């Protein structure tokens, strides 16, 4: 009975967490696509960031920072994934990716791409979805495929690209058993994507 209560509590907490994260991401995405008054934007971002911090804080009660070898592994996977994306996009004409360049370059879009987006997606796909099944194979397939379909729904090639990205993130999460490595991987991948998007526009 106690076990069932504990399981239900975790389930309801996860549902509440997902609802809050969806709400925050929706609002930030809205702010990212329009040019609002700077004061309004800053105040809105501060409120949203505080809301976001309160929601995700329980996931980081014990923050285990990566070791040197962890950092090498994280950055190596960032480089590998960026190369895979770049080579694929450069070799296949008319391929479209839902990349960072789709956003307007403002405070909200940067916050979304560098902080809120990666943390939200890693908590949802790796922290929750990747622990739904008793079978580890099912956890890998469902969490990675769902991530890939939602990010690369334009065509099959983009689905495959994001599936590879999700596998990399899943590997980092399972390697240490906590989300910090996969979140950092996601953040640095997005940062490098922003950098290359800006360079391509110069």
Residue 142 pLDDT > 90, yes or no?
yes
Higher per-residue confidence, 1 vs 165: 165
- What proportion of the chain, given as a percentage, has pLDDT over 70? 75
Quote the pLDDT of residue 4. 44
Task: Spell out the long-range contacts of 82-91 with Cβ–Cβ below 8 A and sequence spacing 24 or more.
Answer: 82/189, 82/192, 82/193, 82/196, 84/161, 84/164, 85/161, 85/193, 86/196, 88/157, 88/161
The answer to whether 25 and 117 have CB atoms below 8 angstroms apart is yes
Quote the pLDDT of residue 173. 94
Ranges 102-106, 129-133, 140-144: which has the least confidence: 102-106
Higher per-residue confidence, 105 vs 142: 142
Other CB atoms within 10 Å distance of the CB of residue 26:
10
Q: What is the DSSP string of 41-65?
A: HHHHHHHHHHHHHHHHGGGGSS---
Quote the pLDDT of residue 3. 41
Spatial neighbors of 111 by CB under 8 A, at least 6 apart, are: 28, 45, 48, 49
Quote the pLDDT of residue 16. 79
């Amino acid at each position: 009975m106690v076990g069932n209560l504990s399981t239900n509590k975790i389930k309801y907490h996860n549902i509440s967490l997902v609802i809050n994260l969806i709400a925050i991401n929706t609002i930030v995405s809205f702010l990212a696509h329009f040019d609002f008054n700077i004061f309004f934007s800053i105040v809105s971002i501060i409120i949203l960031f505080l809301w976001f911090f309160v929601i995700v804080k329980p996931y980081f009660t014990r923050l285990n920072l990566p070791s040197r070898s962890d950092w090498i592994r994280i950055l190596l996977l960032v480089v590998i994934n960026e190369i895979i994306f770049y080579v694929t996009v450069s070799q296949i004409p008319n391929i479209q990716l839902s990349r960072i360049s789709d956003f307007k370059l403002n405070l909200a879009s940067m916050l979304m791409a560098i902080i809120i987006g990666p943390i939200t997606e890693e908590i949802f796909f790796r922290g929750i979805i990747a622990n739904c099944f008793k079978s580890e194979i099912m956890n890998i397939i469902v969490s990675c495929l769902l991530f890939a379909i939602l990010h690369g729904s334009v065509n099959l090639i983009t689905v495959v690209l994001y599936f590879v990205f999700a596998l990399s993130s899943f590997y980092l999460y399972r390697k240490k058993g906590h989300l910090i490595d996969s979140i950092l991987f996601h953040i640095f991948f997005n940062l490098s994507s922003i950098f290359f998007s800006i360079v391509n526009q110069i």
